[in-house]
Amino acid sequence: MLSQKTIDIVKSTAPVIVEAGPKVTQHFYKRLFSEYPELQNIFNMSHQNNNQTDTPSSQQVALFNAICAYAKNIDNLSELLPMVEKIAQKHTGFLITKEQYEIVGSQLIATIDELLSPGQDVLNAWSEAYNLLAEIFINRENEIYKENQIKQGGWSGKREFVVTEKLENTDLITSFTFKPSDGGLVANFKPGQYISIHLSSDLFEHNEIRQYSLSSSPKSDEYRISVKRDLDGLVSNHLHKNINVGDKVLLTPPNGDFYLNAQSNEPVTLISAGVGFTPMLSMLESLTSQSKTINWLHATENSSTHAFKNHVNVLVNESKNIQNFTWYNDPLDTDIYDVDYDFIGLMDLNKIATHLRDEKMQFYFCGPVGFMQKIAQQLLMMGITKDRIHYECFGPHKIL
């Protein structure tokens, strides 16, 4: 427990750090990587880089927001538990260690000292506060490591898998299926969770770790991810161009705090745009054997970018409980209304409001942040309560 003196100092000095803005975290990361360059093999460096050096990156903003949230709730840590769980799940995919928490803590305190010169009492208070938070993370992450290890098919650390299938879904999205090189079982996961892939290559300056949503229902001996090739994406381009059937990769067990958690009597609406369909598809495949009502809503540019279109149609045709609605923003001349798509333009939930009015319905969605912000706004305007709204951001988390 923190002393009241420490709590008072942190709360009274937090506004100074807030006023300093993300330059605190910019300075922190510059210092961290200068003194511990090996940590660049863990952090996603594309989240650190920005063409405008005075503009904070997404990862830097995420750290700054976490610091502010911690200071605000330092006397009520229960408010932080959702944030702790989200970050702890991500950290276990990166195999973060206690020693790395100690390094980060020392660099954070040094940054506060160098930028703000607040005095030793303030530095001691922030150090004490950080150590308590680090302990909370370390304990939770140790629990997750143990949970993953004792599962049937589970393991600890990195495990070698072989690519058994590589399927081009669209020009930009390709699916990869992995099976363990040892021929054993794999750990079960909750639909919506992700896998962490650890890659090394002569083409990379550093080792690279990425987390991709699992895009199929749980299987006993394999995992599938579906990856969008970003024009500037170092790893996504490497996967598309250089990783083929028979190649070996290293994976850590599935993780994530976003997953299907609806009760048996609760209907479900799955909403996605672009490659955001990946966790939704895992949920859909897992739900098809149930008798509950399911709405599948997807938005994309047109049929050329519509991944797993035929697969979803098969699932819909085999079930009497799935309603399927598709929005094409810019249909091709060859796309057929009421066959390939149902609506033109951006997703408008008012078009299908009658399908969404069940007061027990749970809503899950994933896609670009702008898309998810609009979906969240539409749901709230329709009277959907926040406890029925669940979403996932790729990369650093953002509050919608």
Same-domain status, 315 and 376: yes
Residues whose CB is less than 8 angstroms from the CB of residue 223 and which lie 6 or more positions away in sequence, other chains included: 161, 177, 178, 186, 195, 214, 216, 251, 254
Continuous segment of H or E residues that includes residue 18: helix 4-20
* Higher pLDDT among residues 103 and 63, named by residue: 103
* Arithmetic mean of pLDDT over the chain: 92
- Catalytic pick from 70, 130, 141, 212? 141
pLDDT band at residue 393 under the 50/70/90 scheme:
confident
Same-domain status, 291 and 171: no
Residue 17 lies in a domain: yes
Computed from CA positions of residues 103, 106, 108, 114, in that sequence, does the dihedral angle turn out positive or negative? negative
Same-domain status, 183 and 203: yes
- Global pTM? 0.93
DSSP single-letter state for residue 228: E
pLDDT at 170: 96
Residue 397 lies in a domain: no
pLDDT band at residue 395 under the 50/70/90 scheme:
low
Tokens of 400: 């919608």
Same-domain status, 200 and 132: no
149-206: per-residue pLDDT in tens?
999 999 999 999 999 999 999 999 999 999 999 999 999 999 999 999 999 998 898 9
Residue 281 lies in a domain: yes
Same-domain status, 165 and 136: no
CA triple 252-254-256, angle to 5 deg: 125
The CATH number covering residue 22 comes to: 1.10.490.10
- Catalytic pick from 101, 130, 223, 341? 101
The CATH number covering residue 167 comes to: 2.40.30.10
Q: Please answer whether residues 347 and 368 qualify as being in contact, where contact means their C-beta atoms are separated by less than 8 angstroms.
A: no
Tokens of 383: 């009277």
205-262: per-residue pLDDT in tens?
899 999 999 999 999 999 999 999 998 899 999 999 999 999 999 999 999 999 999 9
Same-domain status, 22 and 141: yes
Same-domain status, 142 and 172: no
Same-domain status, 23 and 134: yes
pLDDT band at residue 51 under the 50/70/90 scheme:
very low
CA–CA distance, 365 with 371 (Å, rounded to integer): 10
Residue 59 lies in a domain: yes
Same-domain status, 181 and 287: no
The CATH number covering residue 294 comes to: 3.40.50.80
The predicted model gives 128-147 an average pLDDT of 96
Same-domain status, 236 and 373: no
| 364 labelled catalytic | no
pLDDT at 348: 98
39 lies in which domain range? 4-150
| Number of domains within the chain | 3
Closest by CA position to 162, among listed 234, 278, 243, 237:
243
Spell out the long-range contacts of 194-197 with Cβ–Cβ below 8 A and sequence spacing 24 or more.
Answer: 194/93, 194/254, 194/255, 194/256, 194/279, 195/93, 195/223, 195/225, 195/251, 195/252, 195/253, 195/254, 196/93, 196/94, 196/251, 196/252, 196/255, 197/225, 197/249, 197/250, 197/251
Residue 140 lies in a domain: yes
Same-domain status, 133 and 178: no
312-333: per-residue pLDDT in tens?
999 999 998 999 999 999 999 9
Residue 262 lies in a domain: no
Residue 261 lies in a domain: no
Q: Which of 196, 230, 255 is the last residue of a domain?
A: 255
Q: Given a cut of 90, is residue 46 above it in pLDDT?
A: no
CA–CA distance, 43 with 210 (Å, rounded to integer): 10
| 102 labelled catalytic | no
- Beta-bridged to residue 366, according to DSSP, are 272, 392
Continuous segment of H or E residues that includes residue 262: none
Residue 184 lies in a domain: yes
Tokens of 194: 């992700």
Continuous segment of H or E residues that includes residue 204: none
